[in-house]
Structure 1
Amino acid sequence: MSDTYKQAGVDIAAGNEAVERMKKHVKTTFRPEVMTDLGGFGALFKLNKDQYEEPVLVSGTDGVGTKLKLAFAMDQHDTIGIDAVAMCVNDIVVQGAEPLFFLDYLACDKVIPSKIESIVKGIADGCNQAGCSLIGGETAEMPGMYSEGEYDIAGFTVGIVDKSKMINGSNIAAGDAVIGLASSGVHSNGFSLVRKLLLEDAGYSLQQELPELGGRLGDVLLAPTKIYVKPLLGLLKEIEVKGMAHITGGGFIENIPRMLPDGVNVDIEYGSWPILPIFKLMQEKGSISNKDMFTTFNMGIGMVLVVKEQDADGVLQYLRSVGEEAYVIGRVTEGERIVTFTGAEV
């Protein structure tokens, strides 16, 4: 049966080898609540509900989009899994949730065990950064569905927060401070435009060393998405955070309003943080307006927080003490749930 299936393009033995290779990486993520090993039909996770007065489960799912095209071109697969985790866990931590576990879905044209191991190791690295367990997943070999050497990856996470500690932005008010946490690069959004601007139109090579970027273009673009979970969960134990926004697809313009109640805007002070060189390069080469840049990319800020004005210094001090670059980047003003800018036309 397996030989016949192999002739059709599905290698069961290679799949089994890939599972064995990934086990050591997966097990590094296991929290005490994990009740099953890999290989079962379902993964079991014991909920320590006694730690919570009124526990609420928070879930999120996402992928990494066409950033995968760069991983294929660079033949570099050990960090794309971090991106998959980051896109999910950063989305749920903004509501105050601690990620508990993660599951992945990996589909490819052909299972190459060493390559699958590299991808899953990245997922495990991301889970360790977020403090959640990689408790299961699916690796699907699908000949004819993907071009040679290509794959797709997506993930799903579940977290938990006490109902009384949920963050929903409802008490954000005019006068509050807006804090930005630095991104590690482009993260995992906007790569269709990135590829068009830099590779197709400007004619750069991913292998090209660009002095203004401090390294190879491909390495800068593949820098994994920063995972903000542990610094933010630590901060929430010390200082009240009124609202948080993960700056993903839609940039500042579309993501910041998602945390705002009626009656307020966020006014961003342009120039209050360093815009990364990769964004300046794309804007220059594509002659792109500020508005389009801030509607597409994170522009060097991957997470935005709203706190009381009097708490801003304490927030900055805490975040910097745990290794995060953070800046006061604006203020909450009266308005209609939009983002405005001071210091530049956007």
Structure 2
Amino acid sequence: MKTITYKDSGVDIAKADRLIDGLKGRIRSTHNAGVLNMIGGFAALTEVPGSYRNPVLVSSTDGVGTKLKIAFMAGKHDTVGIDLVGMSVNDILTLGAKPLFFLDYYACGKIDENVYPSVVGGVCDGCLQADCALVGGETAEMPSFYKDDEYDLAGFAVGVVEKDSIIDGSTIAAGDAVVGLSSNGLHSNGFSLVRKLFFDVKNYHVDDEVPGIPGKLYEELLKPTRIYVKPVLNVISRYAVKGMAHITGGGLPGNISRIIPDGLATTLRLDPATIPPVFRALMEAGNLGMEEACSTFNMGTGFVLIVNDGDADAVVASLNESGEKAARMGTIEKAADKAKVTIIS
């Protein structure tokens, strides 16, 4: 009787190991002195920097969602790893934490020798942007569970903040300024609606050129999530930042309202002329009103800081000098019987 091996069942451990070995140089490029061992062991060892007096670890996990479907359709996989890192490190950044390390989970039906290195290479790129180390992960080849040409991703970030420097929104007060940082397009949220509107309603193909949107459609949709770690940590080191929000699912109202204390609110003015073209195209395709669009997409703002009114101009200038596009969006007001976030256009 012929021996039936694990490889015969669709799981090629040797191929996965070979691909990981080929990526070790890129992975090592993300490491710093705090990483005590290289990938390949059972677990990763990372030191908490000794400069912290009373360090608190901050953690988050996230994925890329159905944006991956766009990558499958376009055959372009080198940016979704940046998305994976960005979704988690931007979340821990909202508490004032500096990312320390990152782990990834890659699950697929059949590991592809071209796709897998492209995805993990993107994760390395994201870690370099966030100044954190890729210290390990899991690669799971699961035949018949996933389609052979599809995969899913999950990421896990851990950072550190001084206990007395945690930024949780509790000190936000009337008169404070709301500062927004521009997004790099859609980032990683709302893609089930994006696919419905562009591919089912409008019958576009990923290679199409859509009126008003520069380049091919997939190029716009696969723009990676902007990672705000370095410029925002620079601001935190110089100014009293009271609260921060990563604008993901739920849009501006859903995320900013999470950090505004009860009894306070803000009204944000969104000029329709400044809304990036991809969002205007989506609103037209779905006949979406501003309220629905703002509750689903980031509408051009990927991250928000709340600062003292007197610091607002300097904070905006600092962010713009670092290469971001920042602007004041509104002011915190006393409002006991009002929605915490109102968008007007």
Q: d(CA) in 2 for partners of 1:14 and 1:335?
A: 60
1:3-18 map, 5 Å:
4-18=5-19
Q: How far apart in 1 are the matches of 2:240 and 2:156?
A: 28
Q: What letter corresponds to residue 59 of structure 1 in structure 2?
A: S
1:51 alignment partner, SS class: coil
Alpha-carbon distance, 1:335 to partner? 2.0
Q: 1:272-327: CA deviations, max 9, x gaps? A: 98211000000011100111101100000000111111111100110011000001
**Residues 87-109 of structure 1: CA deviation (Å, up to 9, x unaligned):** 00000001000000000000001
Residues of 2 paired with 1:306 and 1:3: CA distance? Answer: 61
Structure 2 equivalent of residue 231 of structure 1: 231
Counterpart position of 1:212: 212
Q: How does 1:85-96 map to 2 (within 5 A)?
A: 85-96=85-96
Partner of 1:323: 323
Superposed CA offset, 1:214-259 (max 9, x none): 1101110000000000000011111111100000001012100111
8 Å CA contact retained: 2:82, 2:126: yes
SS at match of 1:18: helix
1:118-267 maps to which residues of 2 (within 5 A)? 118-267=118-267
What residue identity is the alignment partner of 1:29? Answer: T
Contact 2:55/2:161 (CA < 8 Å) preserved in 1?
yes
SS across alignment from 1:113 = coil
CA distance in 2, matches of 1:79, 1:251: 22
Aligned residues: 342
Shift of 1:133: 0.1
Flag as ranges the 4+ runs of structure 1 deviating above 4 A: none
Task: Letter of the 2:40 partner, please give it.
Answer: G
For the Cα contact (< 8 Å) 1:197–1:285, is it kept in 2? yes
Secondary structure of the structure 2 residue equivalent to 1:16: helix
What is the letter of the counterpart of residue 341 of structure 2? V
Q: 1:36 matched to which residue of 2?
A: 37
Unaligned 5+ segments in structure 1 are: none
TM-score for the superposition, normalised by structure 1? 0.96
CA distance in 1, matches of 2:61, 2:335: 31
**Alignment of structure 1 residues 293-332 onto 2, 5 Å:** 293-332=293-332
Q: Distance in 1 between matches of 2:244 and 2:73?
A: 35
Percentage of identical aligned residues:
49
Distance 1:167 1:71 in 2: 35
The amino acid of 1:57's aligned partner reads L
d(CA) in 2 for partners of 1:176 and 1:38? 45
Matched AA of 2:209: E
Contact in 2 for aligned 1:99/1:160 (Cα 8 Å): yes
2:291–2:343 contact (8 Å) kept in structure 1? no
Q: Is the 8 A contact 1:252 1:298 kept in 2?
A: yes
Query: 2: distance between equivalents of 1:133 and 1:233?
Result: 17
Alignment check: 8 A CA contact 1:241 1:307 kept: yes
Distance of aligned partners of 1:300 and 1:178 in 2 relative to their CA distance in 1, 3 Å threshold: same
- Whole-angstrom CA distance in 1 between matches of 2:100 and 2:246: 19
- The alpha carbon displacement at 1:2 in A equals 10
CA drift at 1:148: 2.2
Show structure 2 runs of 5+ residues with no match: none
Deviates more, 1:111-120 or 1:138-147: 111-120
What's 2:341 paired with?
339
Deviation for aligned residue 1:9: 0.4
**1:173-193 deviation line (CA, Å, top 9, x unaligned):** 111111000000000000000
Matches within 5 A, 1:266-277: 266-271=266-271, 274-277=274-277
Alignment root-mean-square deviation, CA: 1.5
User: Corresponding residue for 1:57?
Assistant: 57
* SS of the residue 2:241 aligns to: coil
> In the alignment, is the contact (CA less than 8 A) between 1:25 and 1:120 conserved in 2?
no
> Matched residue of 1:76: which SS?
coil
* Helix, strand or coil at the partner of 1:227: coil
Question: Structure 2 length normalisation: TM-score?
Answer: 0.96
Amino acid at match of 2:212: E
Cα distance in 1 for residues equivalent to 2:3 and 2:198: 45
Contact 1:108/1:151, CA 8 A, preserved across alignment: yes
Letter in 2 for 1:38: I
Deviation for aligned residue 1:198: 0.7
Alignment partner of 2:181: what SS? strand
CA shift, 1:210, in A, is: 2.6
Matches of 1:47 and 1:285 in 2, distance apart? 49
Contact 1:17-1:113 within 8 A present in 2 as well: no
Letter aligned with residue 47 of structure 1: V
